[in-house]
Amino acid sequence: MTSAELSGWGRIEPTMAQVYEPAEPGQVTSLLPTAGGRGVIARGLGRSYNNAAQNDGGMVIVTTRMNRITDFDRAAGLLTCEAGASLEQLMTAALPSGWFVPVSPGTRQVTVGGAIAADVHGKNHHVAGSFAGHVRWFDLLRADGSQTRVTAQADPVTFWATAGGMGLTGIILRAAIQLSKVQTSRVRVDTVRAADIDQAMAYLSDTDDRYRYTVAWTDCLATGASLGRSVITSGDFASLSDLAPKDRRDPLAFRPTAWLGAPPGFPSGLVNKYTVAVANEAWYRKAPRRREGEIQTIGAFFHPLDGVRNWNRVYGPAGFRQYQYVVPFAHQEVVRKSLERISKARAPSFVTVLKRFGPGDEGYLSFPVPGWTLALDFPARTPGLAGLLRYLDELVVEAGGRVYLAKDSRVSADMLAHMYPRLEEFRKIRAELDPAGILGSDLSRRLGI
Ligand SMILES: Cc1cc2nc3c(=O)[nH]c(=O)nc-3n(C[C@H](O)[C@H](O)[C@H](O)COP(=O)(O)OP(=O)(O)OC[C@H]3O[C@@H](n4cnc5c(N)ncnc54)[C@H](O)[C@@H]3O)c2cc1C
């Protein structure tokens, strides 16, 4: 055990906790009864953006040493692992046999436990749904120390409260994941430039059913006729015949470790409205108007940010706030309104991503519902940011949308109730699973969940 300061990936609200890093699931069972009044929360690789995996003055159980892959049925693509195994580990283990994770967020540095607890989504949400839909079972350690193997069939309530439940129903110890079959480890990518937000949204709407993976990068600072100009990349795993002859010799190659490190001492203010405007212009200009069939690696297509270790440091010590919402398709005007307001405020979101979600799953607090999702990240010291995000909250709530808890840093408990209509049901289930309120995080205390 160590006493340590923890923050999320955005580095904005660090708090102190007693941090334990058990090497075996069995050790977690013996730790639980020792949690004091401030309770306990699980933590994976700390890639949620704010304080979902923090517990000020309490216990935090980091799962990353519990990361063994315990079984892999290469014929069926069913992989069983401890909850601290990362998606990168799953890829490394499974790609040589032609299997890939069913859903990958924009980083592969997340644990299986974190992927279930946030019910993460990826570029294929419109066809594959989110992560929990591919989980056959997980072993859950409940607050009373009992352990159960949970499936969506036998215990849908516990399963769907845990999927998206941000660690508040118990500690996931192990899970079995159904992987997806691939012929190669490369992606065949089409790139299109859209001159404004209307073109970008029309293109995404028209082409979703043609692509397994698709997403738009949007220039949040562009104004006027260029408002919301975007670069859209869409694709699917390449077949063997798509590869150049030299790549066909090792079609499932995956070499994830070639990382650069961001130097530690970036000052706050390096990411600002000027540098982001220049970067956006360069990115947009560099993209082809239209290019088809480019072969990219998994890293380049799915996880470009993983290419620089600790890229979150470029925002400097003040950190940054992520904000991601989804609004139903019927309220697509919210996207345009958001971009109008953001560009007018010159609020520099460095990574702005737009996508269409498909049907949501049964998760009581799972984020995705059918509609448009926009993800933004702003330096925490952006002038006027609090007012801008409040304005976005209101637009989102009026449209019947919601923000993503894995990224949230500031929504109020009142707002949350409007965003997640099944919140009360979740609270009741949580009270049954954990009557003494042993599980808790900085996020759950702020939101009263
Ligand atoms: C660069 C980047 C890109 C991202 N892109 C996406 C994206 O495209 N889509 C998306 O959905 N998300 C995305 N995310 C967010 C990320 O996928 C989620 O926050 C994920 O939960 C992080 O997993 P983790 O292992 O780091 O968990 P942590 O951040 O450590 O914890 C997240 C939550 O999971 C809970 N948890 C962790 N382990 C367990 C366990 N064993 N049992 C019970 N609860 C547990 C924690 O209590 C906490 O509530 C991105 C994050 C980054 C940094």
Please compute the mean of the pLDDT values over residues 310-330 and round it to a whole number.
91
CB of 23 closer than 6 angstroms to any ligand 1 atom: no
Which residue CA neighbors atom 47 of ligand 1 most closely?
A: 167
Which residue CA neighbors atom 5 of ligand 1 most closely?
A: 106
Mutational pocket test of ligand 1: of 41, 82, 110, 123, the residue with most ligand atoms within 8 Å of the beta carbon? 110
> What was the pLDDT predicted at 263?
65
Closest CA to 254 of 54, 432, 88: 88
Q: What is the DSSP letter of 364?
A: T
Rounded CA-CA distance 404/140 in Å is 23
CB of 107 closer than 6 angstroms to any ligand 1 atom: yes
> What was the pLDDT predicted at 269?
72
Q: Is the pLDDT of residue 281 over 60?
A: yes
Which residue CA neighbors atom 15 of ligand 1 most closely?
A: 48
Q: How far is the CA of 445 from the centre of ligand 1 (A)?
A: 18
Rounded CA-CA distance 82/26 in Å is 11
Tens of pLDDT, residue by residue over 376-417, are: 999 999 999 999 999 999 999 999 999 999 999 999 999 999
Assign 435 a pLDDT band (cuts: 50, 70, 90): very high
Name the token pair of 183: 């012929």
CB of 48 closer than 6 angstroms to any ligand 1 atom: yes
CB of 122 closer than 6 angstroms to any ligand 1 atom: yes
Please compute the mean of the pLDDT values over residues 275-303 and round it to a whole number.
92
Assign 305 a pLDDT band (cuts: 50, 70, 90): confident
CB of 172 closer than 6 angstroms to any ligand 1 atom: yes
The mean-pLDDT minimum among 7-11, 257-261, 299-303, 340-344 falls in 257-261
Q: What is the DSSP letter of 439?
A: B
Name the token pair of 390: 């409040």
Specify which residues 324 forms β-bridges with: 375
Q: How far is the CA of 292 from the centre of ligand 1 (A)?
A: 33
CB of 366 closer than 6 angstroms to any ligand 1 atom: no
